Structure 1
Amino acid sequence: MKIEQMHHVAYRCKDAKETVEWYGKMLKMDFILAIAENHVPSTHEPDPYMHIFLDAGNGNVLAFFELPTKPEMGFDPNTPRWVQHIAFKVKDRDELLAFKEHLEDSGVDVLGVTDHSIFHSIYFFDPNGHRIELACPDPKEDELLNRLNDVKWQMLEEWSKTKKAPKHAEWLHEKELADV
């Protein structure tokens, strides 16, 4: 048995129409499907919803639920906002910078470009408060991923014992964290 691929990921949204329009305008995602019911098909409980699906490229689908009868959505107060995010790949640094300019020109606050060595990222929030990352590969991505692959098990083992960042790949963020 093996998972074939991601079918879709689903998050909650405040307003389905606003979400479709924002992702279409800001991230150029096509609206591909809407499903709405007054009862949840899996549990049969009464709970009206609108379920929207967006094309995130290469067969990847990003979905949202609007739940008008539920209290306003919140976020886990025990998890920092930077942890839970949705990351999308863009072709290259030029594309990343074009998105950054487009978002900023549209009034979106953008953090970065952040250098993760193997890739470079920008971060911002959608109108629902979900943190979004756009990432482009570094030209040396394959070589750098091989270096990380060589130490992944040692890093995991050390982390499991100490809960402190192992030094096996501290080169990864040395540019970003040089002043820390």
Structure 2
Amino acid sequence: MPIVQKFHHVAFRCKDAKETADFYKRVLDMDLLGAIAEDKVPSTKAPDPYMHIFLDAGGGNILAFFELPNSPPMGRDPNTPDWTQHIAFQVEDLCVLDRVKVNAEAEGIEVVGPTDHTIFKSIYFFDPSGHRLELAAWTTTPETLERMRSVAPAMIEEWARTKRPPRHTAWLHEKELAGT
């Protein structure tokens, strides 16, 4: 049995707690589960006022944010591409994916996709704090997932030796390169 049962919560920084809670409710229908605000950090005792909010990401998953008014403005690692760090949420099906895309675009949010990854399709957009969000709907079979799982260890070993992309799962995106 694995040590970890599931995510308790995943936390990120936000620019504005209220704006963030409103955005996630309006765009992704996540309810605000709670908020904690203190003048000092419980774990370190450092004096640093904060607002910590907790959002219901479904299935017992919690997405949390910290607003830190006394810290320097939020930034991101300039050496990491925008597309790399993101929060990916699973949605029920392609109909939900399409509905969120239409609603987000109606709010003036720029949406990329849907992108076909063969095993799922996804859309991408940014929240008000600049976090890239991905919504993904599975489009695969258990056999395809097993095909991926079975080659994953060999791929990691090859990558560790060469730092070049192994071709074991190139079939996931080859159809894009072929123009299909």
Q: Could you say whether these structures have the same fold, taking a TM-score greater than 0.5 normalized by the shorter chain as the test?
A: yes
Residues in 2 aligned to 1:131 and 1:24: alpha-carbon distance in whole angstroms: 17
How far did residue 144 of structure 1 move?
A: 1.4
Conserved? CA contact 1:40–1:47, under 8 Å: yes
Report what 1:164 is aligned to. 164
How far did residue 78 of structure 1 move?
A: 1.0
Report what 1:50 is aligned to. 51
How far did residue 175 of structure 1 move?
A: 2.3
Residues in 2 aligned to 1:157 and 1:55: alpha-carbon distance in whole angstroms: 37
Report what 2:121 is aligned to. 120
Mapping of residues 80-95 of structure 1, within 5 Å: 80-95=81-96
Report what 1:132 is aligned to. 133
Residues in 2 aligned to 1:105 and 1:85: alpha-carbon distance in whole angstroms: 22
Q: Which amino acid aligns with 2:168?
A: H
Over aligned residues, Cα RMSD in angstroms? 1.0
- Extract unaligned runs of 5+ from structure 1: none
Q: Which amino acid aligns with 1:24?
A: K
- Extract unaligned runs of 5+ from structure 2: none
Residues in 1 aligned to 2:104 and 2:16: alpha-carbon distance in whole angstroms: 20
Report what 1:41 is aligned to. 42
Conserved? CA contact 1:30–1:54, under 8 Å: yes
Report what 1:7 is aligned to. 8
Report what 1:145 is aligned to. 145
What SS does the aligned partner of 2:89 have? strand
Q: Which amino acid aligns with 1:122?
A: I
Name the TM-score, length of structure 2 as normaliser.
0.96
Report what 2:100 is aligned to. 99
How far did residue 106 of structure 1 move?
A: 1.1
Residues in 2 aligned to 1:126 and 1:137: alpha-carbon distance in whole angstroms: 23
Report what 1:63 is aligned to. 64
Conserved? CA contact 1:119–1:141, under 8 Å: no
Q: Percent identity?
A: 59
Q: Which amino acid aligns with 2:117?
A: H
